């Protein structure tokens, strides 16, 4: 049994013992839940006991009163109790009792539950003792045994062979129509230590599916040499998803784009004679078929497709080919047909899709990518295919030089609700967790931090309200599941820009009420009820009467992220040493060519860097006579960046950008009579990730001239050049402990030359919070920790707001040792200050809430039982606050009931705030891990005249969470 199975436990008493069982001995993994029922009497020795196969630890709570119990009290007989997560060590926080309701309902229906299993296998840890008073015998202590009842007949989604088919309405898994809520989590962009927590949080966020690409170039960086270890262990990642009882969408490409280096294609493909990527080209098709076959065989042998009992229910071939198909003319059309035939030929037992491929050949399903597929997607190209959304962009990837970008939770919720109201049945959030572009995996100019604005940020922390608001929406859509998948749909106009989309059938009805106006709210009459619709919003009514969710009204909490300097890591200031990379000259370089060699081909994707050097002999008559006139070195480059030296002296740097890779380096230089050495360090910042004819992309110096000589412009492009791929420090692996001993390091000096290496040691911060390095006052380069690259840094490329696009760089805790972690920085620019670098911890301990009094109560106030929609809560609109695991609310930093404005960390009270707002919140929240505050005028009535009596009131709250002992990190 898996830790997150929703099974019920039955505890049977034994009158013959006075031992007691301690609830604290139960162990429960994060995100899981168990229910149990107390039955009176019985000789457990003769029972057939079903045995739990792993330990559980936690406390016992009574969901009917919502309070935790230290022991079972007098009213236990026949009641249903929860085992709930306690002190979880391996990530995440949060528990939703409603997630256990299904098994509780089944237990409630059991008068004579059937127990299955082997009676001799008494579960060791659960054979402890519980003190039960008042169960037939007053204060008698009974020995208990624990067994598992088969509380639900619903099968594990990933344990038995399953069929996956489709029709014009939805995917059909094992004969059942499904709503698919999927999130993209790319295995190489996080570490195996992070995977379980990320998957668990995705599931608790209401997802039932995880999507990932397969990244060819990391698995086969050299033809015929494969790597599926560590962060690249695709099979392990998918098996973890299976353990969480979730589905998988596998996107095989082999072209994936994904803002990933070379779109996922390995470099060596470029060197195959006659190859043309992604075209009806024999060399490319042969390699593509060979690769896809290898992956399919690996997944099939590991029994990961649904047909073999695995979690994979959907597969994708190719990726957004329509965007370039015309460039290849008829060869594009024939290629896409070939790719579809190839996919179908594998007979994997699950449907295939092509995203952004309107002419996807049968039986492949064409799907939508974008922000608003409910409005932009023309629909499937055949009536018997379902409407699927494979990339719902939760934000926008960022490139160096970009200002901050974001996409509001309200907009995503509106778009998803609209898509499902228009017969959509699958959405995949791209990304649900973006993670980190470790090493050199980012595409051209893409930041090391990837899709940080996703529901789970770069560090795996829940970004609120995005995570919580989407979770609420998923629950609301699931409440509509039966009419959505089985009802007949119709559209009813309720006014200008207002409509109802209704799904109904015998005994069922669900409705989506949309106010498409972007400015004005409106109240409409629908089925006899007045329904308030905020501007640009959709309300979901699972019974066509009750609003359980509105896309614009956020009930979930907000939070903001904090980076805090680690006191442990900086107990003593980091002691830095430096090594200056040697600049080669033409005569010392082995690889010669008449003109500068093309950079991609020179480096072969093994490094970002390559030296170019030539020598020029000048006479006195060539040089300017006036001291205030200097020659100018002009280098026209195809990308991406360049550092220039003349006679060993640094003369400057220049670079392109994501839109315009090409640039011109123009710097004044000092020349001398005699031989002058011109040395350039050219660099790429990732390969391109998209577009037609990717095998024909080029980078590096294209022409080199010296302007301003007395004898005129000197073109030295064909002067004969020497080349070296990579830096000397890279060749000796200076970023490792062993390699670092192969060069001579020096103490920091005032002069900080360009192209230098810096090293220091640090102790990791205490605790479990994520860790990052803040690159204050550095320029551009690479970062390693204990020999592992955590990506490119680029602090000097400022956004239009005058700030670096990314300042903090993630150091996974699994990359660190208990002490003396080896930090190495390669820095391309001069004058930097490594002594200002900080090791920081990352938290989201600032949490907020912003709820209007007319917002729907939390969506978990409703459920569907026995196909009937029912109310199970108190119906109050509340502000909900919950601290991260092991933390409590230690301060109320802002509270206003009235007309406050702003957002988390920047709230401002309006002109009619209740004077007792903060007092009310402190009374309900201080010292607690979580709290609820009713958004109710009576509670905030300060007995003073209300100047805004007719104004719709809002409660805005901001609190600070911390560990109870406020441990230093």
Q: What is the pLDDT of residues 702-744, one digit of tens each?
A: 999 999 999 999 999 999 999 999 999 999 999 999 999 999 9
For the stretch 147-178, pLDDT in tens is 323 333 333 434 689 999 999 999 999 999 99
Distance separating alpha carbons of residues 36 and 29, to the nearest angstrom: 16
CB atoms within 10 A of CB 121: 12
Tell me the CATH class for 586-722: mainly beta
- Give pLDDT, residue 429: 99
Burial of 706 (0-12, 13-18, 19+ CB in 10 A): buried
CB 146 within 8 A of CB 9: yes
What one-character-per-residue DSSP string does 884-933 give? PTTEEEEEEEEEEEES-BS-TT--B--SS--TTHHHHHHHHHTT-SEEEE
Spot the catalytic one: 220, 391, 453, 499: 391
| Predicted confidence band of residue 969 (pLDDT cuts 50, 70, 90) | low
Active site residue 320: yes
Tell me the CATH class for 876-963: mainly beta
564-580+731-842 and 586-722 in the same fold: yes
For residue 518 the two structure tokens come to 């972007």
Q: State yes or no: pLDDT of 857 exceeds 80.
A: yes
Domain coordinates of the chain in residue numbers? Answer: 8-149, 180-479, 486-553, 564-580+731-842, 586-722, 876-963
Q: State yes or no: pLDDT of 32 exceeds 90.
A: no
- Give pLDDT, residue 12: 34
- Give pLDDT, residue 160: 84
Q: Which residues make beta-bridge pairs with 864?
A: 869
Mean pLDDT of 760-765: 98
Mean pLDDT of 781-801: 98
Mean pLDDT of 67-85: 36
Output 111 or 461, whichever has higher pLDDT. 461
- As a 3-state breakdown, the chain gives helix, strand, coil percent values, each rounded to 5, of 20, 35, 45
**CATH code, 564-580+731-842:** 2.60.120.260
Q: State yes or no: pLDDT of 505 exceeds 50.
A: yes
Q: How far is CA 16 from CA 20, 43, 73, 137, 189, in A?
A: 12, 9, 20, 12, 56
If you average pLDDT over every residue of the chain, what do you get?
Answer: 86
Q: Which residues make beta-bridge pairs with 522?
A: 533
Active site residue 391: yes
Sign of CA dihedral 396, 400, 401, 403: positive
- Give pLDDT, residue 172: 98
Q: State yes or no: pLDDT of 125 exceeds 80.
A: no
CB 469 within 8 A of CB 416: no
- Give pLDDT, residue 614: 99
Distance separating alpha carbons of residues 205 and 197, to the nearest angstrom: 12
Distance separating alpha carbons of residues 60 and 53, to the nearest angstrom: 20
Distance separating alpha carbons of residues 101 and 95, to the nearest angstrom: 13
Phi and psi, residue 649, nearest 5°:
-100, 130
| Predicted confidence band of residue 925 (pLDDT cuts 50, 70, 90) | very high
- Give pLDDT, residue 967: 55
Spot the catalytic one: 320, 453, 458, 769: 320
- Give pLDDT, residue 465: 97
- Give pLDDT, residue 966: 56
| Predicted confidence band of residue 513 (pLDDT cuts 50, 70, 90) | very high
CB 617 within 8 A of CB 676: yes
Distance separating alpha carbons of residues 736 and 496, to the nearest angstrom: 66
| Predicted confidence band of residue 259 (pLDDT cuts 50, 70, 90) | very high
Distance separating alpha carbons of residues 677 and 783, to the nearest angstrom: 30
Q: How far is CA 493 from CA 400, 538, 695, 946, in A?
A: 46, 14, 52, 39
Mean pLDDT of 300-329: 98
Q: Right CATH number for 180-479 from 3.30.9.10, 3.20.20.80, 3.40.50.2300, 3.40.50.720?
A: 3.20.20.80
CB 266 within 8 A of CB 228: no
Q: State yes or no: pLDDT of 861 exceeds 90.
A: yes
867: left (phi over 0), alpha (psi -120 to 50) or beta: left
- Give pLDDT, residue 392: 99
Picking from 46-60, 302-316, 579-593, 645-659, which range would have the lowest pLDDT averaged per residue?
Answer: 46-60
- Give pLDDT, residue 180: 99
Output 126 or 574, whichever has higher pLDDT. 574
Sign of CA dihedral 345, 347, 351, 353: negative
- Give pLDDT, residue 873: 84
Q: At what angle do helices 195-204 and 234-243 cross, to 10 degrees?
A: 40
| Predicted confidence band of residue 21 (pLDDT cuts 50, 70, 90) | very low
Mean pLDDT of 6-17: 35
Please state, for a pLDDT cut of 70, what percent of the chain lies above it.
83
Picking from 90-94, 368-372, 654-658, which range would have the lowest pLDDT averaged per residue?
Answer: 90-94
Q: Nearest-CA neighbor of 565 among 433, 762, 785, 403?
A: 762
- Give pLDDT, residue 742: 98
Q: State yes or no: pLDDT of 520 exceeds 70.
A: yes
CB 166 within 8 A of CB 209: no
Mean pLDDT of 92-120: 35
CB 514 within 8 A of CB 421: yes
For the stretch 458-467, pLDDT in tens is 999 999 999 9
């Amino acid at each position: 049994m898996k830790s997150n199975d929703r099974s019920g436990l039955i505890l049977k008493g034994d009158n013959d013992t006075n031992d007691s069982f301690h609830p604290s001995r139960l162990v429960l993994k994060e995100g899981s839940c168990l229910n149990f029922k107390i039955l009176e009497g019985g000789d457990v020795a003769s029972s057939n006991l079903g045995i739990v196969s792993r330990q559980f630890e936690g406390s016992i709570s009574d969901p009917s009163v919502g309070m935790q119990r230290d022991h079972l009290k007098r009213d236990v007989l026949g009641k249903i109790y929860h085992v709930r997560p306690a002190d979880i060590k391996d990530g995440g926080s949060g528990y939703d009792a409603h997630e256990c309701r299904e098994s509780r309902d089944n237990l409630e229906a059991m008068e004579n539950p059937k127990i299955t299993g082997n009676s001799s296998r008494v579960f060791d840890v659960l054979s402890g003792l519980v003190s039960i008073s008042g169960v037939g015998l007053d204060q008698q202590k009974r020995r208990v045994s624990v067994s598992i009842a088969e509380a639900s007949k619903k099968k594990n989604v990933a344990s038995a062979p399953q069929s996956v088919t489709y029709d014009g309405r939805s995917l059909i898994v094992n004969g059942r129509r499904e709503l698919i809520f999927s999130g993209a989590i790319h295995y190489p962009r996080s570490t195996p230590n992070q995977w379980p927590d990320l998957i668990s949080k995705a599931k608790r966020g209401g997802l039932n599916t995880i999507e990932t690409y397969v990244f060819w170039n990391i698995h086969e960086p050299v033809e015929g040499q494969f790597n599926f270890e560590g962060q690249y262990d695709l099979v392990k990642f998918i098996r973890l998803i299976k353990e969480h009882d979730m589905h998988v969408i596998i996107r095989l490409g082999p072209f994936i784009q994904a803002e990933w280096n070379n779109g996922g294609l390995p470099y060596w493909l470029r060197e195959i004679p006659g190859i043309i990527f992604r075209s009806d080209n024999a060399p490319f098709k042969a390699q593509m078929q060979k690769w896809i076959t290898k992956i399919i065989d690996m997944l099939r042998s590991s029994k990961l497709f649904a047909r073999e009992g695995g979690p994979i229910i959907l597969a994708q071939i190719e990726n957004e080919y329509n965007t370039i198909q015309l460039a290849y003319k008829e060869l594009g059309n024939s290629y896409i047909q070939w790719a579809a035939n190839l996919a179908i030929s594998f007979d994997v037992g699950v449907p295939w899709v092509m995203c952004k491929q309107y002419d996807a050949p049968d039986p492949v399903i064409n799907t939508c990518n974008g922000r608003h597929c409910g409005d932009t997607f023309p629909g499937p190209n055949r009536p018997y295919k379902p409407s699927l959304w494979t990339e719902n962009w939760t934000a926008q990837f960022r490139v160096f030089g970009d200002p901050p970008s974001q996409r509001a939770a309200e907009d995503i919720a509106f778009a998803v609700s609209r898509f499902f109201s228009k017969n959509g049945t699958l959405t995949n959030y791209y990304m649900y967790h973006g993670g980190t572009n470790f090493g050199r995996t980012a595409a051209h100019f893409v930041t090391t931090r990837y899709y940080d604005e996703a529901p789970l940020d770069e560090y795996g922390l829940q970004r609120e309200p995005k995570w919580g608001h989407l979770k609420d929406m998923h629950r609301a859509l699931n409440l509509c599941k039966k009419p959505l998948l089985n009802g007949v749909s119709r559209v009813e106009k309720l006014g200008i820009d207002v409509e109802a989309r209704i799904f109904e059938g015998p005994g069922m009805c669900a409705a989506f009420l949309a106010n498409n106006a972007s400015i004005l709210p409106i109240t409409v009459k629908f089925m006899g009820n007045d329904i308030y619709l905020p501007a640009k919003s959709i309300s979901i009514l699972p019974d066509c009467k009750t609003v359980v969710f509105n896309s614009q009204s956020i009930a979930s909490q907000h939070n903001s992220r904090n980076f805090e300097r680690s006191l442990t890591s900086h107990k003593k200031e980091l002691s830095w040493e430096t090594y200056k990379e040697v600049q080669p000259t033409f005569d010392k370089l082995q690889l010669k060519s008449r003109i500068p060699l093309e950079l991609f081909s020179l480096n072969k994707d093994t490094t970002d860097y390559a030296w170019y050097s030539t020598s020029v002999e000048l006479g006195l008559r060539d040089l300017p006579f006036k001291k205030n006139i200097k020659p100018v070195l002009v280098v026209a480059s195809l990308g991406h960046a360049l550092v220039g030296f003349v006679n060993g002296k640094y003369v400057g740097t220049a670079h392109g950008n994501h839109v315009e890779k090409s640039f011109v380096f123009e710097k004044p230089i000092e020349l001398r009579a005699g031989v002058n050495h011109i040395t350039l360090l050219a660099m790429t910042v990732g390969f391109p990730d998209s577009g037609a004819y990717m095998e024909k992309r080029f980078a590096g110096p294209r022409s080199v001239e010296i302007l301003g000589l007395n004898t005129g412009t000197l073109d030295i492009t064909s002067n004969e050049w020497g080349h070296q791929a990579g830096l000397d420090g890279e060749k000796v692996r200076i970023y490792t402990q062993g390699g670092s001993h192969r060069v001579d390091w020096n103490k920091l000096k005032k002069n900080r030359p360009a192209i230098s290496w810096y090293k220091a040691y640090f102790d990791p911060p205490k605790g479990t919070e994520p860790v990052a390095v803040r690159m204050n006052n550095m320029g551009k380069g690479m970062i390693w920790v204990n020999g592992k690259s955590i990506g490119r840094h680029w602090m000097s490329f400022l956004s239009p707001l005058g700030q670096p696009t990314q300042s903090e760089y993630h150091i996974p805790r699994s990359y660190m040792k208990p002490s003396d972690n080896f930090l190495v920085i390669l820095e391309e620019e001069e004058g930097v200050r490594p002594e200002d670098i900080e090791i920081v911890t990352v938290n989201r301990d600032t949490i907020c809430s912003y709820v209007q009094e007319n917002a729907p109560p939390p969506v978990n106030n409703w459920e569907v039982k026995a196909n009937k929609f029912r109310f199970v809560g108190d119906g109050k609109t509340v502000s909900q606050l919950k601290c991260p695991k092991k933390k409590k609310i230690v301060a109320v930093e802002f509270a206003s009931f009235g007309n406050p404005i702003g957002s988390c960390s920047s709230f401002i009270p309006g002109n009619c705030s209740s004077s007792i707002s903060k007092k009310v919140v402190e009374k309900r929240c201080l010292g607690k891990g979580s709290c609820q505050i009713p958004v109710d005028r009576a509670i905030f009535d300060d007995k003073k005249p209300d100047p805004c009596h007719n104004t719709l009131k809002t409660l805005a709250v901001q609190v600070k969470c911390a560990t109870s002992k406020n441990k230093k990190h």
